[in-house]
Amino acid sequence: MSGEFTFIDWIRGQTRPNTRVLIGPGDDCAALSPGRSPWLITTDMLMDGTDFVLAEVGPHRVGLKAMAVNLSDLAAMAGRPVGVVVSVALPRGDDTLGRDLYHGLREMADSFGVPIVGGDTNSWAGPLVISVTAFGEAERPVRRNGAKPGDWLFVTGPLGGSILGHHLDFTPRIAEALRLHETVDLHAMIDISDGLSADLHHILEESRCGAVLHAEAIPIAEAARQLTQQSSKTPLEHALGDGEDFELVFAVSPEDGEKLLREPPVQVWKIGECVADGYWIEEQKNRRPLVPTGWVHSL
Amino acid sequence: MSGEFTFIDWIRGQTRPNTRVLIGPGDDCAALSPGRSPWLITTDMLMDGTDFVLAEVGPHRVGLKAMAVNLSDLAAMAGRPVGVVVSVALPRGDDTLGRDLYHGLREMADSFGVPIVGGDTNSWAGPLVISVTAFGEAERPVRRNGAKPGDWLFVTGPLGGSILGHHLDFTPRIAEALRLHETVDLHAMIDISDGLSADLHHILEESRCGAVLHAEAIPIAEAARQLTQQSSKTPLEHALGDGEDFELVFAVSPEDGEKLLREPPVQVWKIGECVADGYWIEEQKNRRPLVPTGWVHSL
């Protein structure tokens, strides 16, 4: 972790004590107390012009998003966040960019009590690049491969149209994942980053089963409806295909599914069931094949 | 860890089993078995044009370096590497870049038996950016703050002139650090990334003491001598000021220091002693102040 300047000074100045942080920024590595559960590790890199447009959204919201997308990956496995490290390449010549970016990162991390334990701050002639690595713990991590035919499928929130703002302002479903994990046996789970149809397809591939979604049951975000005014798609198509909702989609047994409908520990929507084979959407009793193409990173 | 394509496929194809990897790439996070020691975490981002010139050195050597600089930070605290994750922004349009970069990363990781457990692969219109996060373990991490007046100072190899090639081809001193940690009580240690005088100064600041270096005792790399032909500096100035040697500098008690000279477990050079105050270099019995300016990342 060489080349630090401002970030490390700011991190050192953080006041909230954290019992897990044995050694914080200032040595060559951070050190955390071990714990008893498996470590979870995830990393995501965001680049100006690809994952955000810095000139439009500003560095604070980029910081929020860079932190949140990583915490969302921990949520997808029902992990408790333990800490993060942050690497950045800052475009030269903007004195306040690093500070505002850091404040966004800290705001999101603080809202989950997660310490930023280290980083690597660089400047260069290129556009802003930020890479966050988050680590957490889960005694029983929830994977993608445990869904079974007959399982019920749920999502934690309305979907589609996140490009209008939600992709920058979402709340990673850490708390929801932990509550669900306490309440029911989560057979498989993923966070929706590439789009419902694409990410659910990852679960189906890993679990070697199929699914039927009920079009009328899929919760559609207001933004998805707004977006139809400027797109050639229906609200449902936006809900199925748009990326970066960062809600969770998960599979549970029918018994657990009924329990969730009866006494929901957090807001959930039942959207379909797992079947032995195929990938289908049912609309007014008509079943047609569903294509697992979600949002694709602009290339 | 969304947006993966080739890297994750390659990582999935890795054949060496590793008992610590509970869940590898393919889920939202990697999961590692917990162990009993504190976790060490470090991250370093390298950018084309700043840390390397891709067109001159090629992607394989960039991969070697990006992995090695992170392992060197683990070495600095006498950590055992447990795993790494890698994020990259690949410039669009070069089909073999990602593969060759990955082979360099794997070659260096394999030489220390470290699994690459996950990553995030992106492409964009900008230059190559690569961010590695390495995690390890150390029952007793060696910090920067334990040097005492009277301690002897050692380095693990000749210094200076790394810009001629060593900065791309070095071996992180993981094995040496572990051997030294078994043999003596390492009071303080750091890896030389910014230059001997700058990095030793970090130890002195954290330990609140001073040091005297013996000019004649500092091992000077052949490259430092070569470099004088095109620079206005002496070989000693290169050894003191050049960055990216990635050797270790450390402090031990005089008793342990004598033990290291008598029966060195690895190659070491005694370069000076810690004193109560000040930062000095002694040449032919003349003592003059040493300035803690090492190599500065080109800005």
- What would the pLDDT profile of A244-267 be if each residue is shown by its tens digit? 999 999 999 999 999 999 999 999
A186 Cβ contact list (under 8 Å, min separation 6): A78, A142, A146, A180, A250, A251, A252
Q: Could you tell me if A164 and A280 lie in one domain?
A: yes
Q: Could you tell me if A124 and A215 lie in one domain?
A: no
The answer to the question of residue B146 being in a domain is no
- Give B217-282 as a DSSP string: GS-B-HHHHHHTTTSSS-HHHHHHH------EEEEE-HHHHHHHHHS-SS--EEEEEEESS-EEEE
Please state, in angstroms and rounded to a whole number, the distance separating the CA atoms of residues B186 and B66.
27
Distance from CA of B235 to the nearest CA of A (A): 24
B39 a known binding residue?
no
Please state, in angstroms and rounded to a whole number, the distance separating the CA atoms of residues B216 and B113.
38
Distance from CA of B72 to the nearest CA of A (A): 9
- What would the pLDDT profile of B24-82 be if each residue is shown by its tens digit? 777 888 888 888 888 899 999 999 999 999 999 999 999 999 999 999 999 999 999 99
Tell me if A274 sits within 8 A of A148, measured CB to CB: yes
Is residue A59 over pLDDT 60? yes
CATH of the domain at B39: 3.30.1330.10
B120 Cβ contact list (under 8 Å, min separation 6): A43, A44, A45, A131, B1, B2, B3, B4, B85, B86, B87, B88
Strand order across the beta sheet in which B210-214 lies: B188-191, B248-252, B152-155, B269-275, B210-214, B279-283, B286-289
The answer to the question of residue B79 being in a domain is yes
Do the chains contact at B43 and A87, CB–CB below 8 Å?
yes
Please state, in angstroms and rounded to a whole number, the distance separating the CA atoms of residues A27 and A1.
8
Please state, in angstroms and rounded to a whole number, the distance separating the CA atoms of residues A148 and A256.
13
| pLDDT recorded at residue A4 | 43
| pLDDT recorded at residue B108 | 96
Query: What single letter denotes the amino acid at residue B136?
Result: G
For residue B30, which of A64, A147, A133, A45 has the smallest C-alpha distance?
A133
What tokens appear for B149 in the block? 């007046």
Which of residues A7 and A144 earns the better pLDDT score?
A144
The answer to the question of residue B169 being in a domain is yes
% of chain A at pLDDT higher than 90:
77
Q: Could you tell me if B174 and B124 lie in one domain?
A: no
Please state, in angstroms and rounded to a whole number, the distance separating the CA atoms of residues B182 and B286.
36
The answer to the question of residue A214 being in a domain is yes
Do the chains contact at A89 and B143, CB–CB below 8 Å?
no
For residue B296, which of A128, A8, A2 has the smallest C-alpha distance?
A2
The answer to the question of residue A51 being in a domain is yes
What tokens appear for A104 in the block? 């966004």
| pLDDT recorded at residue A2 | 42
Do the chains contact at A34 and B35, CB–CB below 8 Å?
yes
What tokens appear for A91 in the block? 């475009």
For residue A160, the enclosing domain spans 152-289
Please state, in angstroms and rounded to a whole number, the distance separating the CA atoms of residues B214 and B238.
15
Please state, in angstroms and rounded to a whole number, the distance separating the CA atoms of residues A132 and B43.
9
Tell me if B130 sits within 8 A of B36, measured CB to CB: no
Please state, in angstroms and rounded to a whole number, the distance separating the CA atoms of residues A280 and A239.
15
Band of pLDDT at residue A3, cut at 50, 70 and 90: very low
Residue B285 Ramachandran class (φ > 0 left, ψ -120 to 50 alpha, else beta)? left
- What would the pLDDT profile of A284-294 be if each residue is shown by its tens digit? 889 999 988 74
Q: Could you tell me if A129 and A240 lie in one domain?
A: no
- What would the pLDDT profile of B119-159 be if each residue is shown by its tens digit? 899 999 999 999 999 999 998 999 999 999 999 999 999 99
| pLDDT recorded at residue B95 | 82
The answer to the question of residue A297 being in a domain is no
Which of B42, B92, B124 lies at the smallest CB-CB distance from A29?
B42
End position of a domain, from candidates B137, B160, B181: B137
- Give A77-131 as a DSSP string: TTPEEEEEEEEEEEETT-TTHHHHHHHHHHHHHHTTT--EEEEEEEEESS--EEE
Between the CA atoms of A232, A238, A244 and A248, what dihedral angle is there, to the nearest 10 degrees?
-170
Tell which of A9, A73, A124 to mutate to test the B interface (max B CBs under 10 Å). Answer: A124
* Distance from the Cα of residue B71 to its chain's centroid: 6
Q: Could you tell me if B125 and B178 lie in one domain?
A: no
Q: Which of A15-29, A134-148, A238-252, B126-140 has the lowest mean pLDDT?
A: A15-29
The answer to the question of residue B294 being in a domain is no
B264 Cβ contact list (under 8 Å, min separation 6): none
Give residue for tokens 């809600």.
Answer: A247
| pLDDT recorded at residue B42 | 94
Is residue A53 over pLDDT 90? yes
Do the chains contact at B29 and A79, CB–CB below 8 Å?
yes
CB < 8 Å to B25, chain A: none
The answer to the question of residue A296 being in a domain is no
Q: Could you tell me if A222 and A273 lie in one domain?
A: yes
CB < 8 Å to B170, chain A: none
Q: Could you tell me if B18 and B86 lie in one domain?
A: yes
Please state, in angstroms and rounded to a whole number, the distance separating the CA atoms of residues A13 and A8.
8
| pLDDT recorded at residue A17 | 61
- pLDDT (average), residues B251-261: 98
Tell me if B188 sits within 8 A of B141, measured CB to CB: no
What tokens appear for B294 in the block? 């090492």
Three-state DSSP at B89 gives strand
Please state, in angstroms and rounded to a whole number, the distance separating the CA atoms of residues B80 and B77.
9
End position of a domain, from candidates B108, B137, B166: B137
Is residue A279 over pLDDT 70? yes
Three-state DSSP at A208 gives coil
Task: State ipTM.
Answer: 0.89
Band of pLDDT at residue A95, cut at 50, 70 and 90: confident
Which of A86, A124, A137 lies at the smallest CB-CB distance from B47?
A124
| pLDDT recorded at residue B293 | 72
End position of a domain, from candidates B102, B137, B172: B137
B123: enclosing H helix or E strand: strand B116-124
Distance from CA of B125 to the nearest CA of A (A): 9
Band of pLDDT at residue B14, cut at 50, 70 and 90: low
Do the chains contact at B2 and A31, CB–CB below 8 Å?
no
Length, in residues, of chain A: 299
Q: Could you tell me if B222 and B164 lie in one domain?
A: yes
Q: Could you tell me if B166 and B258 lie in one domain?
A: yes
CATH of the domain at A163: 3.90.650.10
| pLDDT recorded at residue A32 | 80
Q: Could you tell me if A21 and A89 lie in one domain?
A: yes
- Give A157-187 as a DSSP string: S-BS-GGGTHHHH----HHHHHHHHHHS---
Cβ-Cβ contacts under 8 Å between A and B: the total is 227
| pLDDT recorded at residue B118 | 87
Q: Could you tell me if B126 and B157 lie in one domain?
A: no
- Could you give the number of structural domains in chain A? 2
Q: Phi, psi (5° rounding) for residue A28?
A: -75, -25
Q: Could you tell me if B164 and B197 lie in one domain?
A: yes
